[in-house]
Structure 1
């Protein structure tokens, strides 16, 4: 059976929702490497699955730290895709735009930062 946050590892999924920024940052670096590898192998299915996990399980979470994790993870996904990010622009940007109206100030801040 596949882990619930696949293709994320369990440790990456946990760190992505951590209250400590540095742990979320490390998880995002793992995501960037993973996406770069998927992209080189033309594995768009895994890339879309990862974006779906970030968008559905993290960006809409009740926990603000998980929402912040979604934003840094989506930004890392865009970085990992490089010039191919245009193929996924709608999937990447929509959850970020939704977070711009989040009640939590820090989530809104990270939403702005993730678009940079």
Structure 2
């Protein structure tokens, strides 16, 4: 259950790779030292956390889903809930619902626009 670095989708419709070391997968290291990291979300910002099954999803032609496809979805949605649903749908359509062999976790946190 590897995971990719967090991604920030800003309210201004920019996708920013956070460049943070995601560390070890939870549950694989009993001596895991957890580092606290803080991030302030502006109204309309969304933080997206995924397992590597998103970027590394592979279709029947051997193509990876990749960051470019992921980013298109992130830019097309307004809220964290929309991103979560659209990213899952897009990935499963790309790889084929019956072909997905990797774990798939998508967590989207968003700050409401006010």
Q: TM-score, normalised by structure 1?
A: 0.30
More strand by share: 2
Pick 1 or 2: higher relative contact order, CA cutoff 8 A, min separation 6.
2
Which is greater in Rg? 2
More helix by share: 1
